[in-house]
Structure 1
Amino acid sequence: MILTIVRKIRNSIPGFEEKQFLRVKPWVLCQGDKTFRLDYNLDENSIVLDLGGYEGQWASDIFSKYQSHVYIFEPYTPFFENIKNRFLKNEKIRVFNFGLASKSSDSYLSFNGDNTSSYINKGESVPIKLVDFMEFYDSQNFKLIDLIKINIEGAEYDLLESLIIRGELSKMKNIQVQFHDFVPNAEKRVAEIRSKLKLTHKPTYIFDFVWENWELISD
């Protein structure tokens, strides 16, 4: 049954490469979206950031399980509007029509469904707003982010590299990130980021270019 689902995934995406299929297969076999990505030590007081909200399903699953405070960031306005309407009556889920990034700027992305990205020049080009991550962090008076999910279609490299340089990683208890290999020098940059992450965090799971999580090392 699961192998059938994997094959359907591969067949439903034009140009889906065999290499990525082999990466995704073990993730699907262990039902990672329903297990690893939702299994955290959270409660109703936890702070969760969702960078790249898309349809808001992950945020919904996290809230349903833990009733945490969830902050969703979605710079593409149609996605933002859908998420905002979805959680309109939930005061613990806040939705923002901008992305968090290494620095504040006005940018553009190419809209291509769930592969919308500033790094792929396919589809409709639309303007978006990006806000410096630490500026937002400071504006909210956060003390610790219990879980941050990062799925921002290539911009994860610049963001994490910036946070490493600033020495801000210790403000995040769990970092759940999806790295993308269409970015130049992706494998080298992933290796360098992981080597820096190991100074403050330990990996709890790694599925290359699918999903991985890093947990803050306790004193």
Structure 2
Amino acid sequence: MGLGQKIIEAIEGFRDSQRKKQPGVVGQFWRDGGKQLLYDLPIVPGGMVIDAGGYKGEWSIGMVSRYGCRSWIFEPAPVFFQYCQEYFGKNALVEVHKAALGGENRKAAFSFFDNGTSEYGAGNSQCFEVDVIDVARVFDEAGTSIACLKLNIEGGEYEVLERLLETNHILLCDSLLIQFHRQPAGYKESYENIVAALQKTHVRVWCYEMVWEKWIRKDIQ
């Protein structure tokens, strides 16, 4: 192992130890395995995943390397879209889309806050226009079941899930990884309604409230 790799591993080890020391649900998530929990999924080579809120593509990197699956990344922030596009540029298993998922096709103004970039954040000087794409259309274009739908989209998950439930495209999701957020206004009622609806078709395997949840379709369970 080269010196550079040793330094990287040392830094990551320190970060991991700090994460585990955090109080409450966040710390418990990391103590229970953290990111490794996000990779234990019912996926076979050639399966398809959707990575909504791709950021720097870390989850897709892990999924493609572990399972040999295909990934569609949706990342609206120009800097992170470009990062993913350059990183995966020669990887035929990955498509990177400069767009956000939503309940309909529309334009939206997003505010840039690194990995908290959102349509629902407080406005700042780094606002930019985003193409929001109807998630039902994306599923139709995929033309296959989705081995995992990963949602980390800073409040947009409610709109996406409501649309999938409305159109019954939710039945095409073998599994879901969802990070729910305390936004937009009315999120509590939306969360309760979504959970109640999901329980008809999927089983919640584990839940770290407002951190991450994992759901598996009942016939796969």
CA drift at 1:137: 1.8
Aligned residue in 2 for 1:127: 129
- Residue-by-residue CA offset, 1:65-96 (whole Å, 9 max, x unaligned): 11101110111121111101001111011111
Distance across 2 between alignment mates of 1:7 and 1:207? 14
Distance 1:126 1:2, change over 3 A: closer
CA drift at 1:122: 4.1
Unmatched tracts of structure 1, length 5 or more:
11-20
CA drift at 1:183: 2.5
Alignment of 1:45-56 (within 5 A): 45-56=46-57
Q: Percent of counterpart pairs with the same letter?
A: 26
Are the equivalent residues in 2 in contact too, given 1:99–1:131 (CA < 8 A)? yes
Distance 1:27 1:7, change over 3 A: closer
Distance across 1 between alignment mates of 2:20 and 2:123? 25
Unmatched tracts of structure 2, length 5 or more:
1-13
- The amino acid of 1:125's aligned partner reads C
What is the aligned residue count? Answer: 206
Are the equivalent residues in 1 in contact too, given 2:152–2:178 (CA < 8 A)? yes
- The amino acid of 2:179's aligned partner reads Q
Aligned residue in 1 for 2:29: 27
Aligned residue in 1 for 2:63: 62
Aligned residue in 2 for 1:5: 18
Distance across 1 between alignment mates of 2:82 and 2:16? 35
Distance across 2 between alignment mates of 1:131 and 1:156? 13
Q: What is the Cα-based RMSD across aligned positions, in Å?
A: 1.9
- The TM-score with structure 2 as length reference comes to 0.87
Aligned residue in 1 for 2:219: 218
Are the equivalent residues in 2 in contact too, given 1:112–1:122 (CA < 8 A)? no
Alignment of 1:186-201 (within 5 A): 186-201=187-202
More off after superposition, 196-205 vs 158-167: 158-167
CA drift at 1:111: 0.1
Distance across 1 between alignment mates of 2:146 and 2:104? 19
- The TM-score with structure 1 as length reference comes to 0.88
SS at match of 1:214: strand
Alignment of 1:15-164 (within 5 A): 21-34=23-36, 36-123=37-124, 124-142=126-144, 144-164=145-165
